[in-house]
Each structure stands twice: as C-alpha cells, then as structure tokens.
Amino acid sequence: MRDTRKVQTAVLGSPDSHDPILMPFERIEAERLRGRFGARGFYCGEWLGGCGKELYTRIGPVKVPHFAHHPEDTGRPVSCRRSSNDAQSADHLYIRQALTEWLKKQGHQVKEIVLEGTVPQQGGICTGMTIETTKGLMIAIALRNDLRKDSDRVWPQRDAVLRRSHKRVEWLFAPPVPMVKHMTKREGHAFVVGCESDGLRRTVRIGSKSGGKIPLWANLEDCKIDEQGRLWTPRLAEVRRPQTHERVQPSAQPAQDRPAVAEPRELPQEPVHDEVPAGFPLSVNLLTVVPRAVDGRIVEAEVRSEIVKLPAENVRVRLAEPPVDLSVGRPHHVVGPALITMESSPGQTAMTWTIHAQALQPFLLDEPEATGESPAAVADTSGAEPSVWLRMEAILRDLSRARDSGDTETSARLYAEAESLMPHLTERQLKQARRRISGRREAVRAATPVSAKKTPKGKPRVSTPAASKRPGKQANAAEVRRNQIMIVFRMIDRAVSQGSVREAGKLCMALERFMAGLPAEGYQAEHDRFAGYKQRLLGGGRPSKRKQKL
C-alpha cells in the first residue's frame, strides 16, 4: 500500500520507543526540533501503528513541515499501513508519558501500564490504556469506543471488575466516547482527557464535564490526587469547596491550635453545575474564522461560510484559554465542541453573536509526501487556498445527502458551488473531487438522455421516447430544471452585489455546462437571461487562461 500522506508524529530512538515527538507547524520550531533531536533518529513507531522504518524531516520554504519515509532501496514507492499520521496520532503516547511523570510527583509509583487496542502491529490503533500504581490506584483511559454498541451494559461490567481488584479507579475519557454520559449520570461529572500542541510537544489537559455542557479544561500539572486516590481538577475543587466550608463551624481557638480543615469530600449525589453559557450547538466544519483583534480569551473576528447564509459577518469568539500563537488575518477553523449565543443591549436593535469554543486553529496547506525520489530531489509546489478543500469536503457530504434524499434542487445548488471551487484545488485534490462528484451528476442532469442498454438476449433496449411519457412527469421535470437554473441565477446576483465578479463568472461557467444539455425549446427565457449574464461577466465567451490566473 502506497502512503502519500504527511506524517506529523514519530518516536525517538528506536521503532519500539514510547517517546513521541511532534513536528511543529512553524518552520522555526521545526528547525529547532531537527537540531535538537536529529541525532537520536526519528521512526515511524510500532506503538503508533507504523511500519517501524526510519523517517527524515521535510522542512520546505512553502509547505507545512512534516516527517517522511526514506525511499526504498529498490526505488519502489514507500509502503506503510499506518492508520493515522496527523498531529493527534501520538496522543496516547503523550498521555502515557505525562500521566507517568505526574503520578510520580503525586507520590504514586507506576506498577504497570497496559496499552489497549491493536498496537503495536502495523496499522493498529490504541483504544485506551490502564495505569496501575503501587498504592492500589488504577487510572483507566478510554480513548475510543471499543465496547461495540452495547456500552450501557459492557462498560459498567468492566468498571466493576476493575473496582473489585483496586482500592480506587479513576476514569478518563476522550470527549467523543459515549461512556462519558454513563459516568456523568452516576457521579454527576466525568473527567475527559485531551492534548493540544505546545511547541515541540503535546500538552495533556484534563477537563471536568457535567451534563451536556462543554468541558472545563485545566493543565494536568494543575490537577491533584488526594490521599484517598481521588482526582481533583482546579474547577472541581473550586465548585465543591463552598459546600464543605458551610459545614465547618467557626472556632475561637488560636490559629496555631486549630485543626487542619479536611480536604473536600466527593459528593456523587450532588451533581456539579459548572457555569457554562446556554446556547445552540455549532457545526464548526461549516465556518471559516478570520481573527481581527485579540483581548485575552476574547477574539473579534470575521466569519465566513460558503455553504450557508450567515446572520452576521463579524462575531465575538470566546475561547476556553487565552490563545498563544493566534495569527491575526489568517483563516482559522473552530475547534469544538462549540456553542453560539446572541446578545442585545436594552433599547438597541444591534445583536452580538458570540461563539464559545475550545480553540481556533489555522488552516494548513496541502502537500504530497515523497515516494521513490530522494529527499533532495523533492520540490515543493504551490497548494490550494487553506480553507478551499475543507469547504469542498463539506459540499460533497451535503451533495451525497441531497442525492440520497432525492432533493434535486439542493443538488443543483451544491453542484454549482463545487464547480466554482474546482479551479482553486491542487491537482491531487481536483482528481479526488472529480471522482467523488462523478457519481452524483445524475441528480442535477435530469435532461441527459438514457443510453441504450442490452437485454439478456443481446438486443438493445432503447429509452422510452419523450412523447410516450406521461405529461405530468415531463412537466414536473422541466419545472425542477427551471428551479435549478433560478437558484444559480440568484447565486450569481448575490456574488455580483457583493463585488465578487470572479466568483460570479465561475458560477456562470458552471451554469453554462448545465444548460448545454437542455433543449432550446421550452427554456428560451432561461437561455436569453443566461446570454445576458454571459455577455456581462464572460465577455461573450470563457475567460482566457491569463485572466483566470489573475
């Protein structure tokens, strides 16, 4: 299997190492990584599900820095069945490493660590792990749902087995894992675990989650293990401390004679209600956010979407933590889960939209990995605009759903939007988009005649003549096509009104291809209107290649 994806994570020293390393996205940091760790050697680690082969660093002047496989001695393409290469692909090793060091600082010596899943075999994944200490504490981490569909029954059984053999069991879940709701229902809260990029490594964070609210995150170094082996995050201790202080009676004893106040005890019957704003959940993959000003955790930004019409062009983004390396003016995507709220001042009609999100991450450029050529022979090429491919993927997903539901009107609109993005894609992305969209064209080209097919006896079967079709169906098909054309006309008018003449020209070219398959009779008004658009936007023909590049 040929692997052409970028590799963002590796391990240091040997193929079976548990010491992960992340290739930073910034070139200055990437050069620092190369100089600091290059002598130890980078490997496509077996505990990452990799092939175990040595990697080299690719740090070009244009594209995102990453690791790459050395070419085979025979000149054949590199083969690797590793299932995940992105920045999150080594998070299980970072969690293992960070928890081990943190437990030692908390006075717990690690007795045994077991990684669960199908690692270390090639193509394997880590679904979780268990970390046992010499004091009888078990920390169980569930990173993926490996309990099949019946987690309501299987997870409580697994939890009961662990609790019978250990003094204390603390569960950490990845946010998407469905077992979070079971723990929240039983304990009133659940602990979630995640990582975020921090220079040359990934920082492990622990969040407390109650109900359907977004987690409140804290760095692992700020969390504590008490004498009973219970895990405390700063937010959890802050919320529960007033409940305990109310039970402490004031004492007239001198300060030096007062007994020490006991650590707040866990109250599973009293759920924790964190102060999280109420709002509607946000589909983050449909938005592009361009920061304009940053003030602590508040980011004033422009918001765009090529898929849906937005009620405002400027929003306020409230992040869980102050951003460290936010690039003002650069397109970012929202890291969920996220909520959207709306506020208005008394006596004013203006509304302020606020997005409550975990973080903002910049879009990355795309680059293929080297295969049979030497590292020095590989040249960087220009890629697509950072957010174009994400928008194209969202369009293709919606196009598939529209086709399955038989919504030809929506299919026509999405097909026109996809065609308008084609010129901005790289060659590899363009081939992939064409391949995925080829099976969906029937939804927007209802006028294409049905080709002759052969019957089992070998005789051709000709499509039914139009005159023999029922008038009702024929009229309905014509009306659907007119609606499709009108939708694109409205999209062209909106692009022109916003000053996007180039975008309007691309829509006009896409509409020209669609209308080429329609008969002149019955669509004369649409053809006449399109001729006016074509004359005004395309000058009577398609733009030259020189104009397209401009």
Q: Three-state SS string across 500-538, please?
A: CHHHHHHHHHHHHHHHCCCCCCCCHHHHHHHHHHHHHHC
Average pLDDT, the chain: 74
The strands making up 280-281's β-sheet, listed across from edge to edge, are 280-281, 339-344, 351-357, 314-319, 298-304, 288-295, 332-335, 359-362
- Write down the pLDDT at residue 476: 61
Name the nearest CA neighbour of 338 among 282, 278, 276, 285.
282
Find out whether 190 and 207 touch, Cβ atoms under 8 Å: no
Average pLDDT over residues 479-497: 78
Find out whether 390 and 424 touch, Cβ atoms under 8 Å: no
- Of residues 103 and 376, more confidently modeled: 103
- Of residues 469 and 353, more confidently modeled: 353
CA distance 188 to 210: 6
Mean pLDDT is highest, among 208-217, 236-245, 257-266, 271-280, for 208-217
Find out whether 216 and 274 touch, Cβ atoms under 8 Å: yes
Q: 97 pLDDT exceeds 90?
A: yes
Q: Tell me which of 182-186, 306-310, 378-382, 439-443 is least confident.
A: 378-382
Average pLDDT over residues 71-80: 76
Q: 536 pLDDT exceeds 50?
A: yes
End-to-end CA distance of the chain: 39
- Write down the pLDDT at residue 387: 58
- Of residues 402 and 13, more confidently modeled: 13
Find out whether 200 and 82 touch, Cβ atoms under 8 Å: no
What tens digit of pLDDT does each residue of 113-165 get? Answer: 999 989 988 889 999 999 999 999 999 999 987 655 556 677 888 888 999 99
Tell me the percentage of the chain whose pLDDT exceeds 90. Answer: 19
- Write down the pLDDT at residue 205: 92
- Write down the pLDDT at residue 9: 93
For the full predicted model, state whether its pTM sits above 0.75: no
* CB-count exposure of residue 300 (10 Å: 0-12, 13-18, 19+): middle
Name the nearest CA neighbour of 230 among 212, 208, 246.
208
Q: Tell me which of 404-413, 425-434, 450-459, 491-500 is least confident.
A: 450-459
The two tokens of residue 283 are 């589909």
Helical spans, DSSP H, in 124-178: 151-164
Name the nearest CA neighbour of 143 among 189, 102, 101, 91.
91
- Write down the pLDDT at residue 368: 43
Mean pLDDT is highest, among 96-110, 231-245, 324-338, 478-492, for 96-110
What tens digit of pLDDT does each residue of 16-70 get? Answer: 999 999 998 888 888 989 988 888 899 999 999 999 999 999 988 878 899 998 8
Find out whether 225 and 131 touch, Cβ atoms under 8 Å: no
- Write down the pLDDT at residue 276: 53
* CB-count exposure of residue 376 (10 Å: 0-12, 13-18, 19+): exposed
- Write down the pLDDT at residue 50: 93
Q: 357 pLDDT exceeds 50?
A: yes
CA distance 202 to 19: 12
Tell me the percentage of the chain whose pLDDT exceeds 70. Answer: 72
* CB-count exposure of residue 190 (10 Å: 0-12, 13-18, 19+): buried
- Write down the pLDDT at residue 354: 87
Contacts of 161 (CB under 8 A, 6+ apart): none
- Write down the pLDDT at residue 265: 44
Name the nearest CA neighbour of 10 among 84, 104, 109.
84
Confidence of residue 377 (pLDDT cuts 50, 70, 90): very low
Average pLDDT over residues 376-402: 61
Q: Tell me which of 177-181, 210-214, 499-503 is least confident.
A: 210-214
The strands making up 137-142's β-sheet, listed across from edge to edge, are 110-117, 126-133, 137-142, 168-173, 190-198, 201-209, 216-219
Helical spans, DSSP H, in 215-257: 234-245
The two tokens of residue 487 are 């939708």
Find out whether 332 and 319 touch, Cβ atoms under 8 Å: no
